[in-house]
Structure 1
Amino acid sequence: MSSGEYLRYVALGDSQTEGLGDGDDIAGLRGWADRLAEQLALGSSGLRYANLAVRGRLAAQIHAEQLGPALALRPDLATVVTGVNDLLRPRFDADEVAGHLEAMFAALTAQGAHVATLTFPDLARITPLARPISSRAAALNHRIRAAALRHGVIVAETSHHPVVTDPRLWSQDRLHASPLGHERIAAAVAHALRLPGSSDSWTHPLSSPAVTPSGWRAAATELRWAATFLGPWLGRRLRGRSSGDGRTAKRPHLLPIQALPMGSEPDDEPGKRPADSPQLS
């Protein structure tokens, strides 16, 4: 199916698909799914786009809350990305998470939708404190690939390219992509879908090397991150709360979207961080 044939694109997921790290809740979130929709609109003036993603949602919640509305919109293209919030929970079951993903793959493809998903990078390459969950990400990625193969789902392999853990592609909380990161994710999905104008350039390293602290500065950076982001996130978990409590989808209906060429913004801004600092979901 070519991009010109896509008329109804629906995105399902959590904070990454909602767009955290790319804009803010005052000016509005953009995010990789919005960016992908903008490129799709270049090939189809009739494209309409809905984004059902809500931050903080687990795979089971996305399955229960978003699949039904997505099916009702009868998409010809859907993206389903979930699992990171599950990875971070004390009790993680890769088979259970993959089961929810596969159920969504099956339902959407059975209705005739073209479906795409992502694999996840090793979070330990972004923050050393995430080393205990490295094996979880690998286990989930393996199951995502297997489920996708069974249902003809396209997989954008964002897990193993070195550039995906460049700190400039991540916001200050190290869990959500920065605007540049969202741009790269959108380009990865576009390339996996073989959209006109897409290429593997999203896998290329940035033109200048990242500047990373070392020694005592690195330790101080880790402590500051833990106090600013990890501590509050753990506090919400202990209280049984989520950043998505009380929130609904930002774009629950299929609406037209303005076509913008992908990669129309500066791609390499060493050291630049978004003005907002989104919290861990």
Structure 2
Amino acid sequence: MQKNPTFTSLVAVGDSFTEGMSDLLPDGSYRGWADLLAGRMAARTPGFRYANLAVRGKLIAQIVEEQVPVAVAMQPDVITLVGGLNDTLRPKCDMGRVRDLLTEAVERLAPACKQLVLMRSPGRQGPVLERFRPRMEELFSCVDDLAALHGAVVVDLYGAPSLSDPRQWDVDRLHLTAEGHRRVAEAVWQALGHEPEDTEWRMPMPATAPPAWVARRVGDARFARQYLLPWIGRRLTGRSSGDGLPPKRPDLLPYEGPSA
């Protein structure tokens, strides 16, 4: 990888992770790692252009159908692709189909840009990760194989101790906090060959006293009521949190936004 390369455009493809949930801005919109990364790149390159096609809740088939052709047509310098994790969290998941669709996405995106970026997504400590870990690791093995075959960069967030810490995750236990997104932006920044701005983004957070038993139970009850039960309801009815929502930033336009 070239050191401190100059890129003139970025297109981000994916689901809620790339949309930026739960890095909430005062106006109610989400920022997230992709916006932070674009801000850094724009600060180095006048006229830098950025599109973010991500929509929360999207499965890999929807990403391939709805986002990949748009990203290919844009022909940017850099494309980031993070997808498939929503599939692995479904009760019924055909991992063979997920691998095939991810392969199709990479085969179409890699020739359309100068640098394709793939990721091994972060995983929060807890029973949910343990239940779905085999599927996730099968997905990440596919990511590694595809990257080696097509010259993509892999950002290993799954192996970063800092991002497995529950304190880096929002109350919904599915999305990173603002600090978590900042660390992801740093990870991608370095993977693209830029000089580190935070050499310790992987390092665990300082230890703190765990919450009291009562506080944990209150938090569990709130999580179940506000997030888990609605999530289960959507799964049972075939709905998605992203149904009817447009891409976050559908056009590849000059970017003047937040920087890290």
- What TM-score does the superposition give when structure 2 sets the normalisation length? 0.91
- Give the corresponding residue for 2:144: 145
Equivalent AA in structure 2 for residue 20 of structure 1: M
Kindly provide the CA deviation profile for residues 95-144 of structure 1, in whole angstroms up to 9, marking residues without a partner as x: 32232222222212223431101102344x1x324422121111111111
Map 1:4-43 to 2 at 5 A: 5-23=6-24, 26-43=27-44
Question: Does the 8 Å CA contact 1:42/1:259 hold for their aligned counterparts?
Answer: no
Does 2:65 correspond to 1:67? Answer: no
Task: Number of aligned residue pairs: give it.
Answer: 259
Question: Structure 1 residue 5: deviation in Å?
Answer: 2.7
Helix, strand or coil: the match of 1:95?
A: helix
Asked whether the 8 Å contact 1:53–1:249 carries over to 2, the reply is yes
Q: Which residue of 1 aligns with 2:200?
A: 201
Secondary structure of the residue aligned to 1:160 is: coil
What TM-score results when the alignment is normalised by the length of structure 1? 0.85
Once the two structures are overlaid, the 10-residue window that deviates more, 99-108 or 154-163, is 99-108
Aligned-partner Cα distance in 2 for 1:198–1:141: 27
Matching residue of 2:158: 159
In the other structure, the counterpart of 1:227 is 225
Shift of residue 261, structure 1, vs aligned partner: 4.8
Instruction: Quote the Cα distance in structure 1 between the aligned partners of 2:154 and 2:208.
Output: 28
RMSD, aligned CA:
2.1
The one-letter code of the counterpart of 2:249 is: R
Shift of 1:167: 2.1
The equivalent position to 2:247 in structure 1, one of 240, 246, 249, is 249
- Tell me if the contact between 2:187 and 2:201 (Cα under 8 Å) persists in the aligned partners: yes
Matches within 5 A, 1:1-281: 1=2, 5-23=6-24, 26-123=27-124, 125=125, 127-198=126-197, 200-206=199-205, 208-213=206-211, 215=213, 217-258=215-256, 261-262=259-260
CA contact (8 A) 1:98 1:147 kept: no
8 A Cα contact 2:123 2:163, kept in partner = no
- Residue segments in structure 2 that go unaligned for 5+ positions in a row: none
Question: Contact (CA 8 Å) 1:9, 1:76: kept in 2 or not?
Answer: yes
Q: Distance in 2 between matches of 1:164 and 1:75?
A: 29
Match of 1:265 in 2: none
Measure the CA separation in 2 of the matches of 1:259 and 1:204: 27
Contact 2:35 2:258 in 1 (8 A): no
The one-letter amino acid paired with 1:78 is: I
Paired amino acid for 1:148: A
Q: Distance in 2 between matches of 1:220 and 1:122?
A: 23
Gap regions ≥5 residues in structure 1: 263-281
* Contact 1:98-1:140 within 8 A present in 2 as well: yes
Distance in 2 of aligned mates of 1:211 and 1:244: 37
Classify 1:249/1:196 alpha carbon distance in 2 versus 1 (closer, same or farther; 3 Å).
same
| 4 and 138 in structure 1: CA distance in 2 versus 1, 3 angstrom threshold | closer
CA distance in 2 between counterparts of 1:214 and 1:135 reads: 31
Change beyond 3 A, Cα 1:68–1:18 = same
Query: Per-residue displacement from partner, 1:133-167 (whole Å, max 9, x unpaired)?
Result: 12111111111111111111100111122111222
Query: Aligned-pair distance for 1:221?
Result: 3.2
The amino acid that maps onto 2:53 is L
- 2:29 maps to a residue whose letter is G
Residue identity opposite 1:209 in structure 2? A
Counterpart residue type for residue 245 of structure 2: R
The one-letter amino acid paired with 1:70 is A
Q: Which residue of 2 aligns with 1:275?
A: none
- Deviation string, structure 1 residues 238-273 (Cα, Å, up to 9, x no partner): 1221110111102111122237552xxxxxxxxxxx
Q: Is the 8 A contact 1:121 1:137 kept in 2?
A: no
Aligned sequence identity (%): 38
